[in-house]
Structures are given as C-alpha cells and as structure tokens.
Amino acid sequence: MRYQSKLAAASALVAAVSAASNSYLGFNSGSTLATREAKFKADFKSEFTTAQGLKNAPGKFNAVRLYTNIQAYSETDPIEAFEAAIETETYILLGVWASGTDSISKELTALKNGLEKFGDDFAKLVIGISIGSEDLYRAGATGVKNKAGVGAGPEAIVDFINDYKKTFADTALSKVPIGHVDTWDAWTNSSNKAVVDAVDWIGVDEYPYYESGEDNEIENSGYLFDRAYNATLAAAGGKPVWVTETGWPYIGEDWDEAVPSVNNAKYYWQEIGCRQLFNKVPTFWYNLRDSNPDNEMKFAITKDLSKTPLFDLTCPTKFQTSYTVDGDDNDDDDSNSNSGPNSTDTSSTAMSKPTSSMGSTGPDESSPSSTNPTSIPEDNDSSAVGNVMSWSAAFGAVVAALYTL
C-alpha cells in the first residue's frame, strides 16, 4: 500500500511537470452568463471556438479553466463545458468549488457522471484539477478584512484533496495533477504549507490592478506581477506554478493609481503575458468575456466573442519592464527603469482582491453553492531562468519520490 501510494504521488508529479512544460494557453470560464442564466454547450462551444481563432494571438488558446464540475442550477449534472471541450478539442483544467461547504460530494458526483458519460474522449483532455479557488485567501485575515466571503482553511482543502484521490483512485483521472488556486500572499503564508505539500502544482491569481497603496499604475504592473510571481515560486518549493488568473480591465472605476482602459489592457497583455507567461508557463488569462454582473470592472479582451479582439494581441520584441535575475540587471528599454522583481516582501495585504466590487467569489466566478452556477521573442526570456529552476527542482522531487519507493 505504501509503495502504491508513493508511486501514485510520483506519477502525479510527473504529470504536473509534463503539463507545465506544455505551457497551455487558455481563459477562465464560469458556469453562468452575465445575465445569471446558465451556460449550455453552445455557449461554451462559442467561447472555445473564439479562443482558438483569436486574430494575432501569440499561440493557440486551446485550454479552459473551469470553477466547477456542476452544470448551473443542477445538483450533480456534469457541466456542459465537458462536451463542448470534446467537440472543439479544448484542454480542461477542472475546478472543484470548495468554499462555504463541508463536503464536495456533489462536485465529485458531477465529475464522475461526466467521466462515465464521455469516457476517454473527456479524460484525455483533462490537464489538471484545482481543488478550490482562493479559499485560503477568503478564510485568512486579508480576506476577512476585505469582506471576501466564506472561505476554507488548509485542513479542509487537504481533506477535499484526499476525497478526490479516494473517489477517482481507480479511474482514468487517477493520475491527473492535483492543484489548488489561491492568491500569492496566501501561498507565502506559512500556515497554509499543508496545502503546498498536498498538491502537485500551485495555481496563482494575481491582479496588480487591485494592489492599492503599491504604486499600481499600469507602468508598474510588470514589477508588481513579477514580485508576486517570484514569491509564489519561492513558496512552491520546486513544484510547478501555473498562472490561473491575471488581466487588466478595459473599463470600470480607477483603483488607487490603476486606470482601466483598452490601451492599459493591451500594455498589461504585452508586459505580463508576452514578456513573462505565454508559451513559458501554463496560463489562463482573465478573460475572454465577462460573466459577472456584480463586478463593475470588465476584463474581457473581446466584444461579443469576436475573433478580432479589443486590441492587437501581437507580442512585441522589446518590453518596458526591467527585471533582476541573480543580481544582474537586464533592461529592454532604458527609458523605463522600474525596479526589477528582486523583492519578495509579503508584508503588504493590498495584493489580494477586494470584494466591495468584485463579489465574494472573485471576478466572473460563479459559486455553485450560491448560483448553481506565436512564439515569444527570445531576446527577453527573464522568466525562463526561474522556470527552468522550478521544473528542474520538480524533476528532482520526482526522482526522490521514486528512489524512496
């Protein structure tokens, strides 16, 4: 039994490293529309088709991150995104909603029903599963201060992870890499280390736009993102880090020094997406279209799912964010000398998303408990150093796990 347990853990970690090396590109997708109506297969299919056909995209956006396995306004029906993904060959990062409940049995039943209905056609598209989304943030001091809603503590998340493992131990999803998605300051909080230890990969949601008091104008967004991302890498202990939400609104209210606009959304796409993430890190951008009517800030890069986005998605060859790697300064544009991501100070609590205008489940997330709801230029590869180190450490962890069998 001990041998089988360690072999399963090592296999899952291998799968997580493999998924990370594939550097999937995708968007997030909730279970309901902006009208609060349920999404059905046709709605998801339209999203996935648009994502794969975006004009001037820096790669193929053929993956989706879901927040729940449950079809909106049902109890245990599998979400119709599953069938839409099969028909469009879209890879799936599954999601299990874990806040405000002491059981994820309905989530697991819906997923089991989906697996039984669609079989290997579905299972082969699953690249990972996230047990929970920002639960640790909502349950922590920062989330309570921001009135973020009901969350879940580390013990509950670990228990839910074990519930998933037991339920799908002898199925086609048994080796799917298991992760958890949260804010970067939740990951750097040592009280949540049990979750870091329990997962195969770590998902981080990061929005420099919401970082009040942190000089959060658009020109500083690259530095703020890098600081959070590097701090998450350090907390991950060598496990792969996936960026599961990030983006900049094109419309809405100013947030301290952050200003929503199409031009700023384009700048953020270039400085964070093109410079740091696309084709380097599994990335799920926020977002293709908006679905949260409670959030005044709108993040969609398209209007009415047009394949011609609100701004040109072409990646530039030079960037304005400067960075520091191992003490060496590297500047693509000396005219903008923002300091590099060489600080991992996690004392600020402004990094987390407030909920006064975003809702308790984050932007565009539909809580099932309440609604049932081309290549990157090689001359700027600052993140490659950190990523190579991260993947190497993860590979070492795999070897170590196999060695101790």
Q: Are 313 and 58 in contact (CB under 8 A)?
A: yes
Residues 6+ apart with CB under 8 A from 249: 209, 260, 265, 297, 298, 299
Whole-number Å distance between alpha carbons of 319 and 336: 9
- Chain centre distance of CA 300: 16
Whole-number Å distance between alpha carbons of 108 and 200: 19
Residues 6+ apart with CB under 8 A from 103: none
Active site residues: 134, 245
Beta strands 328-330; 323-325: pairing state: antiparallel
Q: Are 333 and 320 in contact (CB under 8 A)?
A: yes
Whole-number Å distance between alpha carbons of 353 and 131: 20
Whole-number Å distance between alpha carbons of 259 and 273: 18
Burial 326-358 (b: 16+ CB within 10 A, else e): eeeeebbeeeeebebbeeeebeebbbbbbbeeb
Give whole-number Cα distances, 35 to 40, 69, 180, 366, 371, in Å. 13, 20, 28, 12, 12
Beta bridge partners of 192: none
DSSP string, 244-296: EE----SBS--BTTB---HHHHHHHIIIIIIIIITTTS-EEES-SS---TT-S
The residue written with tokens 């080796």 in the block is: 175
